[in-house]
Amino acid sequence: MWSRIVSFVDELNDDDEYMSDEDYKSGETGTSSTDEVRVIKSELQKYKEKVIKLREELRDAETSSQESIHNYNHLIQEKADEISSLSSQVQKLTQERDELKKQVSESSSELEKKTKEITQTYELEIKQLRNSLERKDDHLKEQVDQVTVFVPSLSRHP
């Protein structure tokens, strides 16, 4: 039985510098069963130590992996919080922009209305001034006509 275990382990671990890489069957090497058992126990102890060392490495790797997962999850949560914060800021800025657009639109509409009123007022004043100017022009023409009529009559009477 021990020979089968050693053979199986040898297949898995060829050239691992353990004595089991050599053939230790009783009678072939001139060693006794006691020596063979001692060698096998020695090799099993080495394998046991190797298994213990590998278990420790595995435990360390699992601990490291868990720490990495924890750190990674922490980073994910930080980024999710940051994204949430940025998203709320974007939403707030979008609302402010929409309110400003509405105010600008209302102001623009109000400005157009006032501009129209002022334009109408100025157009009315311009119309009144033109009418006044036409009346004055007509009046001036009448005076010029009267003067031209009066001046020749003065030149006839000395």
Q: What is the CB neighbour count within 10 angstroms for residue 71?
A: 10
pLDDT number for residue 107: 86
pLDDT number for residue 97: 94
pLDDT number for residue 120: 95
**Domain-wise residue ranges, the chain:** 2-149
pLDDT number for residue 26: 44
DSSP characters over 71-126? HHHHHHHHHHHHHHHHHHHHHHHHHHHHHHHHHHHHHHHHHHHHHHHHHHHHHHHH
Pair 23, 3: CB distance under 8 Å: no
pTM, two decimals, is 0.42
* Distance between CA atoms of residues 56 and 74, nearest Å: 27
